[in-house]
Amino acid sequence: MRLADLSESSGVSLATIKYYLREGLLPPGRLINTTQAEYDESHLRRLRLVRAMIQVGRIPVATVREVLAHVDDDSLGLTLRLGAALRTLPHPTEPTLAADEDQPTAAARKLADDLFTRLGWSAPCEVGDLSPAHRALVAALATLGRLGYPLSTDDLLPYARYMEQAAVYDLDRMEVLPTPQEQAEYAVAAAVLFEPVLLNLRRLAQAEQSGRRYGL
């Protein structure tokens, strides 16, 4: 398809597509002559992902470029490629953990470590403070402890096991796609677009179960 066809199929203006091409967010098309290039379904798929990241995720262009560089990095195995791309995405809570930890933070870190040991999680590309998700987990557990709502490993295990089942289902869906690049794109899109779906399903399920258990 020509650039005009790509614009029509995606609903993205020609000017915006040209901007994405200049910024390296969209790979160049295949040249068919000195002034025209041809685009395919992979460009349309990437364009939709870029729009989701920028418009829905409110992710800066520079960060989008970095995420996509990891998505396209054929030198990495799929686990490292997914880990690098997802770590680069902005995290809803990006805490900075102090070098000298207070007691609640130290306790939260030990709780997380104990939880992972009980689960048998190794997470080779998501180790310790390299992972925004790990830092956010430790910070959240520490805050709960400070406010008088401490959790134990036994409290967290059922939640973590449900999340493990969800992760297996995520990867099963991802593996339907034919290439590692498409699989990595799917993982990024799911992180940006689907996590709010899961959060709100949980809240709706809580409301439903509360009504069934306690009435109105």
Q: What is the pLDDT of residue 125?
A: 43
Q: What is the mean pLDDT of the chain?
A: 89
d(CA 108, CA 135) in angstroms, rounded, equals 10
d(CA 216, CA 49) in angstroms, rounded, equals 42
Per the rule left: phi > 0, alpha: psi between -120 and 50, beta: everything else, 183 is alpha
Domains of the chain are 3-76 (1.10.1660.10), 103-214 (no CATH)
pLDDT over 60 (residue 95) = no
Q: What is the pLDDT of residue 99?
A: 54
pLDDT tens-digit series, residues 176-208: 999 999 999 999 999 998 888 999 999 999 999
Confidence of residue 129 (pLDDT cuts 50, 70, 90): low
d(CA 60, CA 89) in angstroms, rounded, equals 10
Q: What is the pLDDT of residue 124?
A: 43
d(CA 15, CA 21) in angstroms, rounded, equals 10
Q: What is the pLDDT of residue 96?
A: 55
Contact 115, 140 (CB under 8 A): no
